[in-house]
Amino acid sequence: MSSGSTPRPILAPGNGALAALDAVVVIAVLIAGELQHGFDPVNDPLRVAGTLAPFLLGWLVFAGVAGLYARTDRPLVADLRLVVVTWVAGANVGLVLRSSPWLHGGVTWPFGLVVTGTALVALVAWRVAFDALTRG
């Protein structure tokens, strides 16, 4: 970093709600998957938390690296591009962690395609709807 340059913020003012709602979308998709596979978040919260945590960790790390929430003035296409890159990278972190011996999972490759694709569609659809409502 050169002297005189200022560091880029990770979370621009006004983007906190957007970041929280993105996380809610990811959580909703993952909980839907848990329910579909017979795991109840109320009766088995630690198991569900063990599913959510790796993906949310990956999402948060790469959202910071990519600067997803650092600006509020990007056009929709640029935002969607960052959402796609952030989720694909974050989902891969989650998949690697879930396939490790330290977490439950034992995931197979179709799971990776399903979780990455489903959450990606949900995130992009949510962001397009959000843009239509707020920038409209």
pTM listed for this prediction: 0.87
pLDDT of 18 reads 95
Considering only 22-31, 107-116, 123-132, which range has the smallest mean pLDDT? 107-116
What residue type is 129 in one-letter code?
A
- Could you tell me what percent of the chain has a pLDDT over 90? 75
Average pLDDT value for the chain: 90
Q: Where exactly are the structural domains of the chain?
A: 16-134
Surface-to-core class of residue 136, CB atoms within 10 Å of its CB (0-12 exposed, 13-18 middle, 19+ buried) = exposed
The Cα-based distances of 108 to 40, 45, 79, 113, 115 in angstroms read 21, 23, 30, 9, 11
Whole-number pLDDT of residue 41: 95
